[in-house]
Amino acid sequence: MPDTELITIGAFARACGLSASALRFYADAGVLAPALVDEVTGYRYYAPQQSAPARLLRHLRAMNMPLPAVTALLAETDPARALILLDEYLAALDRHQGEIRAAAAAALAALLATHGSGGGAHSVPADDRASSRSPFVTVRTTDPERGSPGPRDDVWVSGPVLAAAIDQVATATVADAEPAVLDTILFEADSSQLTLTATDRYRLATRTVRLMRVGAVVWDATVNADDLRATASWLRRRHTVALRPQLDRVEFRTAATDSLNGNRVGAGEPTTRHAARLDDTRRYCRRSTHDFPDYRAMLAALAPVRTRVVLSRAALLDAMERADSPTVVLHTTATGTVSVTAGSSWTDRTPSTRPAATGDSAAREGSQPPTPSRSCDRRVEVGPREVVDTAGAGVTCEEPEWAAARHIPQATATGPAMTIHFAVTTLYPAVATAVGPDVMLDLIAPDQPVLIRSADDGDLSTLAMPRKPEPPEETSR
């Protein structure tokens, strides 16, 4: 195929309705690979005939079809078999919806039986107002030579999607932090997407949101996180909003604002008759005077990925919840299986590898679990349930119930086996706020940051620091 037939990832994204970041996610997950990747620049190019499977991919993901099922359907060359796969998934969806409707009917019946059918009217709280504003401060503009911001700086996005993006990224901010820039969110707008980024030194979260109106605007602004949190509830009830950077703040405006101003964006102060209505169609969030850290350089400095894991977001959350431990351990094997154990699991307590659990650590973890049998002494872990002795003979030891590894169904791991410890307070928010039903974990080493990625309508990437295991306890003889 001549290279002239190929199109850039940006043009392909616009043609198929997926964001460029989502296309990168699906390529790395092995679902839809580009036709060509330039070995020098790393740029990805797609063939025009890939538009049809890309649009099908978008529709399948809108149905919340899991990534393994999407991969199998797209790889199916027999159209009849592909239709069968789709019908099977739709039948499963129907069964699930039936279960939800039955549960809803039972809940309604129980509620009526408890409170009766009368009931008083419930008041609906008024829209939240943005937090109080600080005095006017002068900040650097993205392009000082352009002068005052105007209509060409507007970017239009979905209000509920932007509110969700703020909630997701805000988990990586720190209130009352020094430096204060750690309690801000960086907004970056270009012709196709809006990117939100935050960091608290231990996590870095970045989320892209597709634009509802494509333009040629490019700007960035570091925005106060508290103001954004206060504005999120207002955004959730607005179908479409425009963002415009100003010298000291960022304006969020609904389409109704333009009509009330006679369709003149940037018109003067509203008349008294429209003042109350305009108050509900605009919000303002303060800009910070601090420069946001160069997060792209941070990401570029990461070592190459050694192991990549793709798994269900719900399954990983369930495994962390069932572990009932402040620390969880993610295990991958060379055969591609993935499992999660509690931080106090037996696999972390084999005498040659387990961390010490004395002093403060023992107090945190409560009573100590049973000591492994003598037959397991001097053996080291190579997988979630398998150990080898010093002579290399593989054995499987009997584990107590509390130590059982929770294998993640339909999870895949490619690359060397790896075991990484995480604080639940770090990993859980990064997974819980992910976009779509699946997440991808890019693993470098047990002591290196892990990139947690997800994608559907835009994407979310979170850089999470693993937890360092405590030093191994010496084996007494």
Level-2 CATH architecture, domain 302-464:
Roll (3.10)
Helix H or strand E segment including 24: helix 20-28
| CATH class for the region spanning 144-296 | alpha beta
Weakest mean pLDDT among 191-205, 389-403, 418-432: 389-403
Give all strands of the β-sheet with 282-286 in edge-to-edge order.
155-158, 240-245, 249-254, 282-286
pLDDT at 230: 94
Task: Tell me how far apart the alpha carbons of residues 36 and 45 are, in angstroms, rounded to a whole number.
Answer: 5
Q: Which of 36, 47, 46, 72 is nearest to 57 (CA)?
A: 72
pLDDT mean over 439-467: 88
Domain ranges of the chain: 3-79, 144-296, 302-464
What are the C-alpha distances in Å from 367 to residues 50, 268, 348, 355, 362?
57, 69, 15, 15, 7
Separation between Cα atoms, residue 366 and residue 263, nearest integer Å: 65
Per-residue confidence (pLDDT) for residue 457, from 0 to 100? 64
**CATH 1.10.760.10 is right for the domain spanning 3-79:** no
Amino acid residing at 374: R
What pLDDT score does 344 carry? 55
Q: Looking at residue 20, what is its pLDDT?
A: 84
For residue 131, the model assigns a pLDDT of 34
- Assess whether pLDDT exceeds 80 at residue 138: no
The pLDDT assigned to 296 comes to 87
**Is the pLDDT assigned to residue 142 strictly greater than 60?**
no
Whether 144-296 and 302-464 share one fold: the answer is yes
**C-alpha gyration radius of the chain:** 26
Model confidence at 95, pLDDT cuts 50, 70, 90, reads confident
CA distance 196 to 185: 6
Q: Which residue reads 């196709």 in tokens?
A: 192
